[in-house]
Structure 1
Amino acid sequence: MKKNVLLSTALKVALGAAIAATLPLHSVSAASNDGSLVGKVTTTDQSALKGLEITVRNPDTGFSRTVKADEDGQYRFSFLPVGKYIIEGTRDGKSLGKLAEVNVILGAATTADVTVNTGNVEEILVVGTRVIQAVDVKSTESATNLTREDLERLPVERDILSVAMLAPGLNRGDGDLGAGISFGGSSIAENSIYINGLNVTDFYNRVGSSSVPYAFYKEFQVKTGGYSVEFGRSTGGVINAVTRSGTNEFDFGTEIAWEPSFLQSKGTNHFDREGNPYRMYEWDEYDRTNATVYASGPIVQDHLFFFALYEARNLENDYSSDTANTFYEAQEDTGFWGAKIDWQINDSNLVELLAFSDENEEERDAFGFTYPEGQKGNYQQTRFTENGGLNWAATYTSYITDTFTAKALYGENERRFSRYSQNDVECARVRDLRPGGGGDIGCTSSSNVTQRDDTREAARLDFEWVLGDHQVRFGLDHESNASAHQQYYPGPERLLYEINRAGTTNVNGVPIGIGTEYVRTRQNEVDGNFETDNFAYYIEDNWQATEKLILNAGIRVESFENKNGDGETYIEQKDMIAPRLGFSWDIKGDSRSKIFGNAGRYFLPVANVINIKQAGGFLDRRTYYQFLGLEAFDYNGVTRYRPILGAQFGAVDDSQGDGTVGDLRGEVDQDMDPVYQDELILGFQSMIDDKWSWGVRGVYRRLHNAIDDMEISSTGILCDGEPVSPGFVMGNPGKNTTLFTDTDCDGESDGYVTIDTSRAGWAMYDEDGNYAGEVGWEEPKREYKALEFMIDRAWDNNWSFNATYTLSWAKGNAEGPVNSDTDFADAGRTEAFDNPWVNYGAYGYLPNDRRHSLKMRGAYALGEHWEFGATLTANSGRPISALGECNPYDDECFWSFFVFNEATGEYELRKRGSGGETPWLFDVGANVTYRHSFSTADLAVKLSVYNLLDQQRHTEVDEYLPSVPDGNADYGLGTGYQSARYGMITLTLDF
């Protein structure tokens, strides 16, 4: 090895040491859109390294930073933009040349160590340089990093959730709740997604996020646990991504991704037990084309760069309704645009501007349809759905000194949503929910007419200050989340009509025979502006306690403030202290293996949907009528039906909203505890050789509290022998609830009452209808335990491989803010605690319990032109419950785990998971890529096939079983299935 090369490598490490002197070796964390670089120069005579400085330089942009190595030979660079760097060094002003090349990855520390020999103080000979990325010995987090290049070699669907699913411990949520992922047993409404440091998570319902096309991304990081105090407002996981940037080279290119219908296999039809259409997929097919063009380059060489991308989209999606009586033709053709500007003012100050628009519109035509002929009939209606919006963020980074760095971000994240059709103006929705009733039988099937504009204003400051052996990070972040919302049922009367067959002996408080048919009308409306303010500040110390041991101690202090439709605060949770502790032990001191662990607390904010439905002019009025039959009428050439109403029975029920904001002191617990989760992780990770690594991790998570609505039917105060009943209240089930209510029986609220809902709050009555005391709610519980095993071989231009196996248990009586078993997606307003009987006997394995999960992925290059990739996911089934309605203790009939036995006349408790499990799911993907480089362009053509085995097993079932043997003939039938096999052809041309 040449003397100057060895010297440079040594210098690199030495410079690292110099930096470490100011910040001797510490644990290294990175901001949400940066990475870090650390290293150490080792020699027999450390005094020979005095005066060494290390420089990192990005050859693509010219950006460089220089720091001094400390006396122990350690150095570090924080807040480095993700990318490729050359490490160079100088000693006493004399250049030592190039020491190494490294890739700084997102949210992690790359280690570059140098070993040198010093013959004398004038000469330094570099013996070797080792760059390690597989084992980040400076971090206590659990995270999976994936680059754009990694994913190009694999058959991965082109969305951020599919990328995240490559990480261990993650499972897809049930489709009826929307697109989402369960991290470590959590519900799909507990995660956060960041793009270039901007939080783009849906805050209305906490399911989904702003959508960015695959071609715009550069790198992804999936944080599955133990993340630092910089991140909060999540009890699930964090998906962190950065977008592409411009360089000193002008580049442009195009990418066309085509999912043609001829690469799709036919879906399988499914029938109920009487042979009627139940879930019909035979006629489902789509054709999707995404055509992207991009350009990037310098505006001012070495200082100002741009990256711009436009994606033209076209999706033609044809499918039938579940029962094959309606056929839909949907189309989307709204384009995406995105741009990024990077301004390197100088080597100490950087500015980044990001902007993109993910606005999208779907037009869906509905037609009549006949089965089994498969004939499309008369036109019915066109539904318009719009979503997305403009997003932007500005980030400023300043390297104030070698040891003090600051970063500031301000941005806005917009998500608009509207859904309507012409039929919605003229027609009410009519649903026939009787067994075999056919669902929608009126002239519209729209669930509601909705328009909402959600806008997040985000601002944050992050600092890092190195003080001796301590790397101190601190900062604050604030989000203002505003929703302008309007929603109502279609039709001139704004009513939903539902025809039901009674499965119980009591409906709306009126005795009624099992099997009696009735109509429920529902008026559900809300209109207003709603806001939530979330604020946090944090401080964290990463202490290099010894040469091998890093200790991490941090604290995040959160506050959540929810406002009603009048702009007044009605939920305020302050001073929520979230400690995080961790350690990382570099076992041999060679950055090749570590034992790590952490313990932390994570808080979850209240979603904006609660403001809208609890604290607005929310009207939810339900009225019950006798059913006298159906009236037929003609609409667009098709015979439609509406119910003929008989006499009303029971009182009008508007207990969940009477159209006014009201006095929320009587509807919301005045001393509500927040929802939070505690987490413990212990793991081991090690390099086997320079390419192979392996690891194991144990995880324990426990969720504390729930914020949900409960029907409080007794405050413990009796007026004329009857308890005061405030109705539905937001609070902590199983804990104290403090309400402003009537305390002197004059019909007016005049004082506060505290109810221990673990023992009271629900009024009980004897057989004669007399008040007979109270019962309470079971406290929410959720525990997740897991062992994760991983083995990985890094890509070496020849092949790569990764496999993970997760053995886990998710157990409790509360899934989280949303419910998969009842398909209830309003976060924080689930049905799990509406009355004490809903959750009675509900402790067991939860819907997100997947006992076994195996994930494998690999890529192989055959020569310089051909590459092959494959993925495999194998998951065991999820638990199935038997959900009833009534209970043996009172006449309340809603969800429960009690099933009525018609033969014995008794109720049977069917505990959670009593219905067995859904089948194992296997998903195999494969791809082949042809690459060729021309003199001015690089060509890649890729064929990917998803669900190669074309398995179409059911992923969820109908879990409703009110009685046996004749309560629900559809119990246990599949309600969701794996998508049929499909393929994608991708052509990429880069100039």
Structure 2
Amino acid sequence: MSLAAGGAHAQSNATGTIFGTTTPNATIVVESPDTGLRREVTADKDGRYRASSLPVGRYKVSLVQGGATVDSRDNVQLAIGSGTEVALGAAATASSANASNLEGISVNAAALPSIDVSSTDSRTVFTAEQLQRIPVPRDITAVALLTPGAVAGDSRYGNVPSFGGSAVSDNAYYINGYAVTNPLTQIGFSALPFDAIEQEQVLTGGYGAEFGRATGGVINIVTKRGTNQWKAGAELRWEPRSLKGSPKNNHYGNTGNPEDGTLYQRREDNTSWRETASVYASGPLIKDKLFFYVTGETTRQEGSTVASVEASKGTAYDQYRFDTPRWLAKADWNITDNNIVELTGLSDKTKREYSDYSYDYPSSTHGSTKNDAARTKDGGEVYIGKYTGYITDNLTLTALYGRSDQVHTVTPSGSNGANPQVLRSATTSTPAGLPFNPNYSAYVKSVPGAEDKTHGWRLDLEYRLGDHSLRGGIDKQNLESTSGSNGYAGGEYWLYGRSSRPNSPISTVYGQAAPASGGGYGTQGYYVRRRVFNTFASVQVKQAAQYIEDNWQATDNVMVSLGLRNEQFSNYNGDGEAYVKQRHQLAPRLGASWDVYGDSSLKVYANAGRYHQPLPNNVAIRGASASLYTNQYFTYTGINPANGAPTGLTSLGAPYSTNNELGQPKDPKGVASETLKPQFQDEYILGMQHQLTPAFDWGAKVTYRRLRNIIDDFCDDRPIADWAERNGKEFNFLFTCALFNPGRGGTWSWDVDGDGTPEQVHLSAKDLGYPKPERKYLALDLFMEHPFDGKWFGRVDYTLSHSFGNTEGPVLSDIGQSDVSATQSWDYPEIMENTNGNLPNDRRHYLKAYGYYQLTPEWSFGATTTVASGRPKNCIGLYPDSNDYASGYNSSFFYCDFSGQGVTGANTVRTPRGSQGRLPWTYRLDLNVGYRPAFADNKLLFQVDVLNVLNSQKVQSINETHESTYDAGVINSYGRPISFQDPRTVRLTARYDF
């Protein structure tokens, strides 16, 4: 498919390049038969030519001499961010065999060049036709998980992918060139109607200097656009409840087998169905000039879930309904052949409603009384404008502006969230009938005004100078978040509990103790806790970057890419004050591609680069802005029968905050170290691709990644107290937490002695006592691919990898903590003991295969399969010394007591990360069959997809907490599964394209 070597490089995150060799100084015409776009470029004295920043799609490339076409190639397919090589004239004659292959490309979106000798990165591109033909969940992340080195992150993060051992918050997402990554947490993104995807590009390493703000992977979407042909269509997809596999029940027990032990959750009663309807239309408003494409889809999912046995005495049966309407509209205006304008608008919103009922486990029935429904609303719109100007044959300008607005509101159940929530803890069954939910964050609500906004622009220039293709650009983006969770319904919540040790502390602060009498209930230890929580704040991150890149055709067969990116990140608190400013983050990128035989049949490539990761907005919500978070304990004599609230209260102590969150503004100089350095990672890749035969390509790649620095918070005030003693200061300072670089020293401004004047406190790495962060990823990727030849397409990937170290990065999958860059890992040095080992995203072996077969013009078949080794298992327990300063963190340490004699610390042993074996291997097979009846001229499609045909439901994650309190013994939930593979799903599709 590719011919003689020529100078080009995969460029722009939403376009591609056609390049090659031809007659010196000849005129090359590149035309789109779909939109009429036409470009003329002139080959240089060596016969090299290139047409860059072209919209993806199919083109005709012609050699014109004396006003006549003397050679041409039809149906040249262009992929996002890729270079497609086309030789013409005498250059094509030199490789006539390859030229005939190029001419034989069938007209379909799957026919893309298999070896791009102009690229040095690691990418996979999925086309609209592939996404229609292969059986895969209609979800952007599900598609991305088919790429080499990608694994599903912890289910508590929504199965967001982890690329190359990175954290789920380390990725970047783009739609038509604009970044749509979640600005609050960096986990997830704004989605779009699935049928609107023209191409989905997944970059898993080695990406150039134009990309930044990611140390994991990049998911890059280009949408469909209008053409000169009028088109319209409709599709209906249905996943019926009756054809769904029954979810596997969940059990207690430490055997690791979810079918053993006491029943924890009757998941077999969890049922659901889903239906999606979509329509689209496109065509020319002015032929060859102005086009439109619009599409809309609406998805409804309804089902029910049964909570655990522990929750069955309360509202444990939920019926839910999710409605997700999405739309996308795109306009393309070819003002002239040299000036193009694109406008894109899309909407991604989800409404969720839950109705609660009581549930009786013995009879497997739910009650008939429905509580007030809880409701959530999430999402908003994204708008993007882009201009491309082909100033000269050698100079191209692109400019882009985008903005987004996402609203988040949560209304908990119970009088529409107007009244306080009243709950009971796991330690008490009294008062009866109250919900059991120790996850109090589920009752946090967001009022109108809670939203995320972004706006940004970028400018890119490309100039060809002899053997050099020079690129440079600048981009800026502001990300604003108004507190996504700003308090409890009714302003507070009450939690009933009971201590097993009356008169012993129930609060580690101020010595508040459990009562000796039951407050009228005649049983010792009963109490109730009142918690007030409010974090309303408007914060923002300002991001900017500049880059320059030289793609140099050093020889006829060797291309070298030299790039440098400079990034700036500034984070602002709720008062508009910067608490983190990071400048001059230089990220060099170096790549090389060797076209070994000069005919694009064998490529050897290598690259090395540095990649930076910014802090998201969520760090500022509580860590840098004023917030209120207090607790107060009481005894009680009665319960209000109307709402379950306690009556006859007697305080056990004044309200207090363990984190000094009393609503006062925080000094930005004390929130983060003045010498804070950004999170960054270094990466090295060596690979090759070979056209084994005209029908098969294969390749191999070795990747090494090393995390060099991270940002997190520490909460240990002992080093500050030591500093005060060394400097003759009285230590009179209630320290919360502060951002730092683990393994490095830092400087902060704190009022250590409480005299009202902050002192500048410098603490060295030795003073702080933390180890250096370590995250390493080493992988060997092998693949074999058969490009679509009009009959079948197939690809097989195998990855042998190892992800290891003492930190996953900005999140903590061990406990599902999503406080990005503010995890508990680095709060105290003791928590980091024994943390070196296999990390949560380590899957040593991973096999992925997918493809489709066109049996006849009417019948097609598709298959996808994945096989993976299991996740490492941990045992997380109490610190051996119950008197240690950090022991109050309870089950947060890599120590466990397996003696069975009650957890006292005396029998505690080290349990290094990943030392408890692995979860079972997982496997999955998806199949589909499509039928396009001849009588409908292939416009009508009936398709059946069966996802997880074998109904495999292996455990994907477990509860790794071994014990809760000293003398309490092993908790019965240790080893209990948290998530399983999704059961079998049947998807029925009917589609008609006009």
TM over 0.5: yes
**Which residue, 655, 666, 669 being the options, matches 2:659?**
655
How far off its partner does 1:621 sit?
2.3
Determine the structure 2 residue equivalent to 1:461.
Answer: 459
Determine the structure 1 residue equivalent to 2:435.
Answer: 440
Determine the structure 2 residue equivalent to 1:6.
Answer: none
Determine the structure 1 residue equivalent to 2:87.
Answer: 113
1:547 aligns with 2:547: no
How far off its partner does 1:973 sit?
1.2
How far off its partner does 1:50 sit?
4.4
Residue deviations 1:319-362 (CA, integer Å, cap 9, x gap): 22234732222223353221100000111010000001112211
- State the distance in 1 between where 2:593 and 2:115 align: 11
Determine the structure 2 residue equivalent to 1:772.
Answer: none
2:190 alignment partner, SS class:
coil
1:55 aligns with 2:29: yes
Q: Cα–Cα, structure 1 residues 897 and 432, in superposed 2: closer, same or farther, change >3 Å?
A: same
How far off its partner does 1:30 sit?
1.9
1:390 aligns with 2:370: no
Summarize the alignment of residues 516-915 of structure 1 with structure 2, pairs less than 5 Å apart. 521-623=530-632, 625=633, 631=639, 633=641, 648=652, 652-655=656-659, 657-713=661-717, 714-715=719-720, 716-718=723-725, 722=731, 726-742=735-751, 745=753, 747-756=755-764, 758-761=765-768, 776-888=769-881, 890-892=884-886, 893-894=888-889, 895-900=892-897, 902=902, 905-906=905-906, 907-915=908-916
Determine the structure 2 residue equivalent to 1:303.
Answer: 289
**Which residue, 963, 966, 971 being the options, matches 2:969?**
966
Contact 2:703 2:777 in 1 (8 A): yes
| Amino acid aligned to 1:67 | V
Q: Cα–Cα, structure 1 residues 51 and 27, in superposed 2: closer, same or farther, change >3 Å?
A: closer
1:322 aligns with 2:308: yes
Summarize the alignment of residues 334-353 of structure 1 with structure 2, pairs less than 5 Å apart. 334-353=324-343
- State the distance in 1 between where 2:637 and 2:816 align: 29
Q: Cα–Cα, structure 1 residues 806 and 629, in superposed 2: closer, same or farther, change >3 Å?
A: farther
1:356 aligns with 2:346: yes
Q: Cα–Cα, structure 1 residues 581 and 51, in superposed 2: closer, same or farther, change >3 Å?
A: closer
Residue deviations 1:439-483 (CA, integer Å, cap 9, x gap): 933899943102421111020011111111111110011001111
Q: Cα–Cα, structure 1 residues 201 and 905, in superposed 2: closer, same or farther, change >3 Å?
A: closer
How far off its partner does 1:921 sit?
1.1
How far off its partner does 1:605 sit?
0.6
Q: Cα–Cα, structure 1 residues 95 and 191, in superposed 2: closer, same or farther, change >3 Å?
A: same
- The structure with the greater share of residues assigned to strand is 1
| Amino acid aligned to 1:673 | K
Contact 2:945 2:988 in 1 (8 A): yes
1:168 aligns with 2:148: yes
795-804 vs 650-659, which deviates more?
A: 650-659
- State the distance in 1 between where 2:265 and 2:543 align: 42
Q: Point out where structure 2 has 5 or more consecutive residues left out of the alignment.
A: 103-111, 254-259, 515-523
Superposed CA RMSD in Å reads 3.0
Determine the structure 2 residue equivalent to 1:75.
Answer: 49
| Amino acid aligned to 2:189 | S
How far off its partner does 1:500 sit?
7.0
**Which residue, 964, 975, 978 being the options, matches 1:975?**
978
- State the distance in 1 between where 2:390 and 2:619 align: 42
How far off its partner does 1:989 sit?
0.6
- State the distance in 2 between where 1:542 and 1:345 align: 30
Summarize the alignment of residues 208-357 of structure 1 with structure 2, pairs less than 5 Å apart. 208-273=188-253, 277-323=263-309, 325=312, 326-357=316-347
**Which residue, 121, 127, 146 being the options, matches 1:141?**
121
Residue deviations 1:102-158 (CA, integer Å, cap 9, x gap): 101111111223463999xxxx99994554711111110000011011121111111
- State the distance in 2 between where 1:521 and 1:686 align: 66
2:830 alignment partner, SS class:
coil
- State the distance in 1 between where 2:26 and 2:638 align: 89
- State the distance in 2 between where 1:530 and 1:346 align: 42
2:143 alignment partner, SS class:
helix
- State the distance in 2 between where 1:215 and 1:352 align: 19
| Amino acid aligned to 2:941 | A
Identity %: 33
Q: Cα–Cα, structure 1 residues 90 and 793, in superposed 2: closer, same or farther, change >3 Å?
A: same
1:205 aligns with 2:185: yes
Contact 1:561 1:571 in 2 (8 A): yes
1:333 alignment partner, SS class:
strand
- State the distance in 1 between where 2:129 and 2:660 align: 51
Q: TM-score, normalised by structure 2?
A: 0.90
| Amino acid aligned to 1:601 | R
| Amino acid aligned to 1:441 | F
How far off its partner does 1:498 sit?
6.6
Q: Cα–Cα, structure 1 residues 311 and 905, in superposed 2: closer, same or farther, change >3 Å?
A: closer
Q: Cα–Cα, structure 1 residues 106 and 439, in superposed 2: closer, same or farther, change >3 Å?
A: farther
Q: Cα–Cα, structure 1 residues 211 and 51, in superposed 2: closer, same or farther, change >3 Å?
A: closer
2:618 alignment partner, SS class:
helix
Q: TM-score, normalised by structure 1?
A: 0.90
Q: Cα–Cα, structure 1 residues 467 and 391, in superposed 2: closer, same or farther, change >3 Å?
A: same
Determine the structure 1 residue equivalent to 2:17.
Answer: 36
- State the distance in 2 between where 1:630 and 1:31 align: 67
Q: Cα–Cα, structure 1 residues 516 and 682, in superposed 2: closer, same or farther, change >3 Å?
A: farther
- State the distance in 1 between where 2:980 and 2:649 align: 37
2:932 alignment partner, SS class:
strand
- State the distance in 2 between where 1:497 and 1:463 align: 60
- State the distance in 2 between where 1:742 and 1:449 align: 34
Contact 1:328 1:364 in 2 (8 A): yes
Residue deviations 1:236-263 (CA, integer Å, cap 9, x gap): 1000111111111111111111111122
- State the distance in 1 between where 2:474 and 2:363 align: 62
Determine the structure 2 residue equivalent to 1:421.
Answer: 412
How far off its partner does 1:751 sit?
2.4
Contact 1:429 1:491 in 2 (8 A): no
Summarize the alignment of residues 363-378 of structure 1 with structure 2, pairs less than 5 Å apart. 363-377=353-367, 378=369
Residue deviations 1:250-303 (CA, integer Å, cap 9, x gap): 111111111111220111212224965423311222221111111110000100
Q: Cα–Cα, structure 1 residues 908 and 118, in superposed 2: closer, same or farther, change >3 Å?
A: closer
Q: Cα–Cα, structure 1 residues 891 and 593, in superposed 2: closer, same or farther, change >3 Å?
A: same
2:156 alignment partner, SS class:
helix
How far off its partner does 1:487 sit?
2.9
Contact 2:618 2:819 in 1 (8 A): yes
| Amino acid aligned to 2:700 | V
| Amino acid aligned to 2:819 | D
| Amino acid aligned to 2:591 | G
1:665 alignment partner, SS class:
helix
1:918 aligns with 2:927: no
Determine the structure 1 residue equivalent to 2:950.
Answer: 949
104-113 vs 218-227, which deviates more?
A: 104-113
1:759 alignment partner, SS class:
helix
- State the distance in 2 between where 1:146 and 1:446 align: 37
Q: Cα–Cα, structure 1 residues 615 and 511, in superposed 2: closer, same or farther, change >3 Å?
A: closer
2:288 alignment partner, SS class:
coil
How far off its partner does 1:86 sit?
1.0
- State the distance in 2 between where 1:965 and 1:916 align: 25
Contact 1:393 1:410 in 2 (8 A): yes
